[in-house]
Every structure is written in structure tokens, then in C-alpha cells.
Amino acid sequence: MRAQPAHRASVMGRWRDWAPLAVLVVLCLVISLFNGNFLTIGNLLRLLNSAAIPLVLCMGTTFVILMGSIDLSIEGVVAVTAVMVSLLVVNDISPISIGLWAVPLAILVGGILGFLNGFLHVRLKTPSFMTTLGVGFAGIGVATAVLGGFTARISDQTFRFLSLGRVFDVPMAVWIALGAIIIAYIIQERTRIGRWVYAIGTDEVTARNAGIPVERTRIMVFMIAGLFYGLGGVLLAAQFGQGHALISQGRLFTAITAVVVGGTALSGGVGSILNSVVGVLIVVTLANGMVLMGIEPYVQQGVQGILIIIAVALSLDRSRLDVVK
């Protein structure tokens, strides 16, 4: 009789692993029944292009959530890097132009802001959501102050190729997102940091007793997340051809929603990079499908809100929770 709960837990674990992919397949089938244009090559390429930036951002967010923390600085970091890169390529405000050298600099700034997140969180022993929320607001403030509320319009076509260009008829942003996924997967599967993230997210006390440098790992994970956010800011600037403080508006909700919908538990220790890829595709496919079906924007937001509540409820392993916090 005692084996029954363990068996039930095993079944639930397998269900959680495959549920996001099953949801994605069913979602695609349902939308295709309502609109035959959904499964066309052109629409699928548009879908992948729409998913490119959320995928890059989610690669960073996934590591933070796997660790049992949360990062609310995404919009601030993206705003700073997008504004920075827009001022370092050919634009209508700044005379400075260093071309594509602006890209690694912007990504580096994202990493520095991520490091700041981790350092303040660890050294001040403040909750990650409060620390990153403060850094995020500060980032938006800095981006606003730098441009004085104006918009820097980019005319550097080589830079814009990073988003608008095509290789083998696939948008360049999709190739960059694929590269980000591969890098994140290698970090997860082939490095000590990847293993330590799971250990900390599963049980921080046990991880500490096992000799894992918890504080240093937290700082490094937030820094890695910042690097991905920096890349996301670069792609946003290239896509819209401009940089301004509000360019990242709504990206925080999309990133966290996609990670959780993909099956990564907010309590930490459960999930993966590939889970987040599926989660992004679910969120983007749902949004694309609702547009094709002519659903009003405010209804779309309501559906996304319900989606994240359901995803959190299904992804939480309540056997590991003593209290809801």
C-alpha cells in the first residue's frame, strides 16, 4: 500500500515533464482548425521571429528561477542596454558610432547590472524580488535620464540586420536566439554552475553542506542572466530601429510567464532550458492564434493572466512547500 503514493508521485512527475509540450501541440491543432493560415510557412516564420527576443530573455530568467529566486529587473536592464547600443551606432542624437562593437559592450553592461543584482542580493541579504525590482526601476530611470525622454532613432542598417536580416530565409534574430539557447543548454548540462543551480533550488541548506559556494553561485547566475538580458536589449533596438526607456515594457511579464508555463517551478530545482523554450512557444503561439482569430487585445491580456495562474498552480510541487510565500 505504501508504494502507491510513490507511484502516483512518479506519474505526476512524468505528467509535469510532458504537459507543456502536449499543451503546445494541442494549441497548434486547435488554432489551425479556426484559421488555416496558422500552419503556413510564412506565419510560422513570423511566429519564430516573435519568439526570438522572449527566448533570449528567458534563457537568463530560467537560471534565476531554477535557483529558487526571481529577477524583476529585466525591463530595466533591457532598457539600459537598448538605449546604450542605440547611441553607439549611427543614430539621430549621438555623433558616436562604433558599429557592431556596440553589441558586445551592451551585453557586457547587461552582465554588470546582473552582477549588481546578485551582489546586492547576497551582500545585503535582501529578497531577490526586492533587490532586482530596485535595480530594474533604477535602470529605467537611467535610460530615461540619458535620453531626456526622447527616442534615439537608429539608421545603421548593418546593426539592424541583426533582427531584420535573413539567412536561408530565416530571420537573423531566430538564429541568434538559437545560439542563445545552445549556450544556455551547455551551461545547464556541461558546467558546475548548471549543477549547482539545481542543487541550490532543490535544497539550499544541503547544497551549502555539500560544499557548494552558494553566495558566489547566486552572483554568477544573476550575472549570466544579465548577459542574456543585454543581448535581448540589443535585439529589441535592432528590431524597432530605436532606443528609448520604455522599449522593454511588458517583457518582464512575458518572460516569467513563459518560464513558468514551460514547467519550471517558482520554488526552484525543477525545470530546464528546453522547458522554457516550449513555454515561450506556448505564449507566443497563443498570442499569435488570438490575433488570427480576431480576439480583442484586452481579452488576450486576460487569457495570459489566467494562463500564468494555472501554470503556477500545476507546476508547484506542494509536497516541498511548508508554507506559501
SS3 for 54-114 is HHHHHHHHHHHHHCCCCCCCHHHHHHHHHHHHHHHCCECCCCCCCHHHHHHHHHHHHHHHH
- 8 A C-beta contact, residue 267 and residue 53: no
The pLDDT value given to residue 323: 40
More confident of the two residues 165 and 303:
165
pLDDT digits (tens, 9 = 90+) for 232-246: 999 999 999 999 999
Cell numbers at 191, concatenated: 558546467
- 8 A C-beta contact, residue 299 and residue 247: no
Backbone angles phi, psi at 189, to 5 degrees: -95, -25
**Confidence check: pLDDT of 277 > 80:** yes
The pLDDT value given to residue 322: 47
**Confidence check: pLDDT of 299 > 90:** no
Q: Which of 2-6, 156-160, 317-321 has the lowest mean pLDDT?
A: 2-6
DSSP-derived 3-state class of residue 166: strand
pLDDT band at 321 (very low <50, low <70, confident <90, very high): very low
Count Cα neighbours of 84 within 13 Å in the Cβ-side half-sphere.
24
More confident of the two residues 250 and 105:
105
**Confidence check: pLDDT of 288 > 90:** no
More confident of the two residues 163 and 12:
163
Cell numbers at 136, concatenated: 530594474
What Å distances lie between residue 228 and 105, 148, 302, 305, 324, CA to CA? 13, 26, 28, 25, 30
Q: Which of 37-51, 105-119, 214-228 has the lowest mean pLDDT?
A: 37-51
pLDDT band at 72 (very low <50, low <70, confident <90, very high): very high
Cell numbers at 155, concatenated: 539608421
What average pLDDT score do residues 267-285 get? 91
What sign for the dihedral angle of Cα 58, 284, 180, 114?
negative
More confident of the two residues 268 and 292:
268
What average pLDDT score do residues 156-172 get? 92
Q: Which of 85-94, 156-165, 250-259, 314-323 has the lowest mean pLDDT?
A: 314-323
**Confidence check: pLDDT of 124 > 60:** yes
More confident of the two residues 291 and 193:
193
Q: Do you know the residue count of the chain?
A: 325
Q: pLDDT above 90 covers what percent of the chain?
A: 61
Within 10 A of 301 (CB to CB), how many other CB atoms are there? 13
**Helix residue ranges per DSSP H, the chain:** 3-34, 41-66, 74-88, 102-123, 128-147, 157-164, 172-190, 192-202, 204-209, 214-240, 251-261, 273-292, 297-315
The pLDDT value given to residue 112: 97
What average pLDDT score do residues 151-165 get? 92
The pLDDT value given to residue 259: 92
Q: Which of 236, 200, 228 is nearest to 122 (CA)?
A: 200
Q: Greatest CA separation found in the chain?
A: 75
Q: Which of 16-20, 131-135, 176-180, 267-271 has the lowest mean pLDDT?
A: 16-20
Within 10 A of 39 (CB to CB), how many other CB atoms are there? 12
Say how far apart CA 138 and CA 145 lie, in whole Å: 10
